[in-house]
Amino acid sequence: MSTALLDLVLPPRCAGCGAPGASGAPVCPRCAAELHGEPERRAPEPPPPGLPECWSAAVYAGAVREMVLSYKERGRTALARPLAGALALAVAVAAGERPVVLVPVPSAGAALRRRGHDPVHRLAELAASYLRAAGWPASVERALTQRRRVADQAGLSSLQRAANVSGAFRVAGARNAPVPRSWGDAGVVVLVDDVVTTGATLAEAARALRGAGVAVPLAATVAATRRRDRISGISRCHPG
Ligand SMILES: [Zn+2]
C-alpha cells in the first residue's frame, strides 16, 4: 500500500524517528529541530571544479536522511513542507539580504515517472513561497532539463559520479534563444537540490547555466553528506 494512503488511514508516525505522531504532523518536534538546524556552508571535500558556494540546513544522516528518503522515494509528500522549510533557511543564510532566483536541479526522467512528481522542484516552489511570505523577493526558474539518461549515482565514486552527470543538463530554451536576461537580473541565482554528496551534480548544473550566460554563485540543499559517510557508502540511495 502506498505510504501516502497509509498516512490517511493510520495515525502518522514521525518520518524521522518513527515515534507516534502528535497532532498529525509528519515529523516530531525533535526531528524538526534537527532538520531546521543552523544552516552552514558544507562543501564536499574536495569540491569539484566549478561548484558554487554550497550551503545546507542539516547533515544527511539519521533522522534527516530518513525524512529525505521518505519524501523522495516513498511518496510521503507531507514532508515537502518541513524539508522546504529547511531549504528556505539554507537559501536565506546563503543569499544574505539579496533577492533570489531558485533553480532546481531536475530529477531524472525515470525517477520522475516512478515517483509521479519532481521532488526537488516541489521543494523549490515551497521554499520560494515561504521566503516571499517572509517579505523576501524569491522566484523559481525551472531552467534546467535533463538532456540524456543518467545512471543512479548510488555506489559510484566521485570520479564516476562526475563522468555520469557530465553534459547531463540543458538550459531550457538555450538551443535557439539565450536565457532571458530578466530572470537572471531578478536576484542572485541559487541552485537547489535535496542533498549534496560529492557536488558533481551541482557543479555540472552550474556549468550548464554558465554556458548559457548565467552567473551561479550559490547552491543550497536541505542536507549535506558528511565526509566519512561518503567514504563508508552511507550515501547510497542518493543521486548526487
Ligand atoms: Zn522524530
Give the DSSP letter of residue 52.
P
Please give the single-letter amino acid code of residue 21: G
Q: Are 104 and 193 in contact (CB under 8 A)?
A: yes
Task: Tell me the C-alpha distance between 202 and 170, whole Å.
Answer: 13
Structure confidence at residue 97 (pLDDT): 83
Q: 53 falls in which pLDDT band (50, 70, 90)?
A: very high
End-to-end CA distance of the chain: 28
Find the 62 Cα to ligand 1 centroid distance in Å: 10
Residue 176: pLDDT over 80: no
State in Å: Cα 237 to ligand 1 middle: 21
Distance 88 CA to ligand 1 centre (A): 20
Q: What is the pLDDT of residues 116-126, one digit of tens each?
A: 678 999 999 99
Compute, in angstroms, the gap from residue 30 CA to the centroid of ligand 1: 6
Q: Which residue has the cell 493510520?
A: 10
Cα–ligand 1 centroid distance for 122 (angstroms): 22
Q: What is the pTM of this model?
A: 0.85
C-alpha 227 to ligand 1 mean position (Å): 24
Distance 29 CA to ligand 1 centre (A): 7
**What is the CA(33)–ligand 1 centre distance, in A?**
9
Selected residue with higher pLDDT from 4 and 99: 99
Question: What mean pLDDT do residues 12-33 have?
Answer: 85
